A and B are shown apart, each in its own frame.
Chain A
Amino acid sequence: MQKRPIRVLIAKPGLDGHDRGAKVVAHALKNAGMEVIYTGLHQTVDQIVESAIQEDVDAIGLSILSGAHIPIAEKLFKKLKEEEAKDILVVIGGNIPKRDFDKLRKIGVKDIFQTGSKFEDIVEFIQKNAGREHE
């Protein structure tokens, strides 16, 4: 058994172009030894799921600052289900009010990291929850 590095897709869904947080977290995950793929801006949910499957990632990190996190999460999980890719861990980062946390968790988001979250918390969570063993 050999453990491959965790692969993470950092994704910017929708029209919002503020990618500072996405890039900063991508840096942090890479420095923690993960393989990080960043989608770039203006991605549709379909494009994100397609990239995730193509890149065989263990986790998707969505960065959302526009406030549209709930409709985007709903669409994403619908698509993941359609593509039978439900085992991919999904976390969201950005401007997410606490009152939406439960709703997002119900949709399937595993955890939410608000703006200013510590790198070590994000890294630890992904390491704990996304590490799949590969032969």
Chain B
Amino acid sequence: MNSSKKMRGGSMNKKNSQMEIKDVILESGIKVKPVYTPEDVKGMDFKNQMGAPGEYPFTRGIHKYMYRVRPWTMRQYSGFGTAQETNKRFKYLIEHGQTGLNVAFDLPTQMGLDSDDILAEGEVGRVGMAVDTLRDMEEAFSGIPIDKISISLTINSTATILIAMYVAVAEKQGVDTKEIRGTAQNDILKEYIGRGTWIFPVEPSIRLIGDTIEYCSKYVPNYYPVSICGYHIRESGANPVQEIAYAFEIAKAYIRHVQNRGLDIDEFVPRFSFNFDIHGNFFEQIAKFRAARRLWAKIIKDEFNAKNPKSMMMKMIAGGGGGGLTIEQPENNIVRGAYYALISALSGTQTMALCSYDEAYTIPSKKAALISLRTMQILMDEMGLTDTVDPLAGSYYVESLTNQLEDEIMKLMNKVEENGGIVKAISEGYVQREVARQAYIHEKRIQSGEEIKVGVNKYRIEEEERNIEFHEYNPNLAEEQIKRLKQVKAERDNNEVQRNLDKLREVANTNENLMPCMVDCVKSYASIGEITKVLKEVFGEFREPVGF
């Protein structure tokens, strides 16, 4: 978050007039000098290390004219209750100028449980939209032209099912699958580190991701089948270096897996995207993204011998910043959000999403969601942020910090590889423990006041009146959803469902790609719970290496 130690006043009065300048150490462990000069970027080969925007190594951005030609997409995360309610919120956001959708699913959907499952009790429609069958997805996107607005699905362990449903919805809307745009989060490895909606063991989970990548590269070529998330790793406690290093190692694990299927890197890596977090020190975040973009390009070119420049471009959604928001004095989060959006724009993001000011304690209200959207729009339309590409380039500080962060990220990546790679590190719980340790250190620093959070450990208002609006959970919602599920089950051809599920079991037991079969399953209105049950029988379930 903020730098560890601040220069404090008071020392000015010292008789010898020598100012005492305290150390500033960033979260990444990098020491910040009070002044940067040309000396700090001496020896830097600007042409090769920075390049022009839109050219290797893409430090300055992945497009030649960036926002002048392609303004960032604004994509607030939303979804709750039933498909009908979610459809209404989607339309509300689109009506107010949002340019993409980011769908939140409830926990049963994310965990492969039907709404009538005993384990889903109390959770149906609570933190996102409830989906049991294709019928729910049809309703969620009813009246929304999915060939025109790009839609992102925040779904991981059940992503094969939801992507299949999405493809089916497109077909029903008469959209050619080749025209479908959008992104699935579909990054299971980070779920074992943070967020926690894993179901299956590590290896079959990676296979499922491989299936979606391979399938999309052939049939849904404009879709981003995977968005690798440093975001949740950082939200779980990781520092910025860990955020990028672990995310890149995860991306490399997926690449190697898909390469082993015989696909060429340039066939599928252009459709990779990343999801990163913004909170903490302003310049450290900007340098983090510039460093990451350069490093990713080098890795893909040098380590994987890609030829297509599109493979080397690190495309990202950057924003959120949940970890930086506070329950205390929640209106302050509006200001924080504005800074995070500014960081995101200065970092050359492709897509922006902001946590809303009330998100530290509730599902965002309509008003809060609109303020987040307006924050991004003000930045785009009033502040001149889209006028010129990478405006901080050439700053002695930013360039020097970018170089240092690149080194640190590389060092950590090498360490992970030397110790047997990310899949092993996650399976054994090593990364989880490292991140938890970092979270504890961070929390202690906040509690001791070493690290300042305004309104929390400084300028606190003790007897704070909290006049805040909560998202109301509708207790009748589960009942409605279960009724819908029963109705779908009564109307569908149960023999066809059974045939498709049997076929799925058969294919899951082979190395064959199970996506075509998955599409058949969802089209026959097999439920998420039924499909997941079959996959659990074949793959088993993940055993968490519990530790802290």
B95 is an interface residue with CB less than 8 A from chain A? no
Question: Of B120, B198, B326, B436, which contacts A116 at CB under 8 A?
Answer: B326
Contacting A14 at CB < 8 Å: which of B123, B362, B470?
B123
B residues 45-81 in Cβ contact with A at 8 Å? none
* B328 in the interface (beta carbon within 8 A): yes
Q: Provided the pairs A26-B548, A116-B456, A119-B447 are in contact, do residues A20 and B235 lie with their beta carbons within 8 angstroms?
A: yes
Contacts of B204 in A (CB 8 A): none
Residues on A with C-beta less than 8 A from B7 are none
Docked Cα-Cα span, A98 to B456, in Å, equals 17
On whether A66 and B447 interact (CB within 8 A), knowing A40-B546, A71-B121, the answer reads: no
Question: Any chain B CB within 8 A of the CB of A16?
Answer: yes
State whether A115 touches B436 (Cβ < 8 A). no
Contact with A along B168-200 (1 / 0, CB 8 A): 000000000000000000000001001111100
Q: In the complex the two chains form, what is the Cα distance from A18 to B191 in whole Å?
A: 10
CA distance A16 to B122 in the complex (A): 12
Interchain nearest-CB distance for B239 vs A (Å): 14
- Cα–Cα distance between A66 and B126 once the two chains are bound (Å): 8
- Whether B126 and A67, one on each chain, are in contact in the complex, defined by CB atoms closer than 8 angstroms, is yes
Q: Which residues of B contact A103 (CB under 8 A)?
A: none
- Contact residues of A between 5 and 23, Cβ < 8 Å to B: 10, 14-20, 22-23
Give the residues in chain B near A114, CB-CB below 8 Å: 327
Complex contact B439–A23 (CB within 8 A):
yes
Return the chain A residue nearest B440 by Cβ: A27
In the complex where A20-B235, A27-B440 touch, is A15 in contact with B107 (Cβ < 8 A)?
Answer: yes
Q: Does B458 touch A at the CB level, under 8 Å?
A: no
Q: A40-B546, A97-B361, A115-B327 are in contact. Are A18 and B440 (CB under 8 A)?
A: no
**Inter-chain contact A27/B196, CB cutoff 8 Å:** no
> In the complex, which of the residues A16, A97, A99 has the most CB atoms of chain B within 10 Å of its own CB atom?
A16
CA gap between A134 and B261 in the complex, in Å? 61
User: Measured between alpha carbons, how far is A114 from B328 in the docked complex, in Å?
Assistant: 11
Residue interface mask B311-336, A partner, CB < 8 A = 1: 00000000000000011100000000
A interface footprint on B232-245 (CB within 8 Å = 1, 0 otherwise): 00011100000000
A72 and B197: CB pair below 8 A? no
B194 cross-chain contacts in A, Cβ below 8 A? 17-18, 20
CB distance from B457 to the nearest CB of A (A): 9
**Residue A39 CB within 8 A of the other chain:** yes
A11 CA to B363 CA, complexed, in Å: 23
CB pair B440–A28 under 8 Å, yes or no, is yes
Closest B residue to A69 using CB positions: B122
- Contacts A17-B196, A38-B548, A98-B466 given; does A72 touch B122 at CB 8 Å: yes
Chain B, Cβ-Cβ closest to A100:
B470
Tell me which residues across on chain B come within 8 A of A68, comparing CB atoms: 122-123, 126
Q: Is A34 an interface residue (CB 8 A)?
A: no
Output the nearest chain A residue to B363 by Cβ-Cβ distance: A67
Query: Does A20 lie within 8 Å of B197, measured CB to CB?
Result: no
CB-nearest residue of chain A relative to B107? A15
Sample of 17 more A-B contacts, CB < 8 Å, known A15-B108, A18-B196: A14-B107, A14-B123, A15-B123, A17-B196, A17-B197, A20-B236, A20-B439, A24-B443, A26-B548, A27-B440, A40-B544, A41-B196, A66-B107, A67-B362, A97-B361, A97-B362, A116-B326
9 closest pairs, A vs B, by CB? A17-B196, A15-B107, A40-B546, A23-B548, A71-B122, A23-B436, A27-B440, A68-B122, A40-B544
A-B pairs with beta carbons under 8 Å apart, 22 shown:
A14-B107, A14-B123, A15-B107, A15-B120, A18-B196, A20-B236, A20-B439, A23-B440, A24-B436, A24-B439, A26-B548, A27-B437, A40-B544, A40-B546, A66-B107, A67-B126, A67-B127, A67-B363, A72-B122, A95-B361, A116-B326, A119-B447
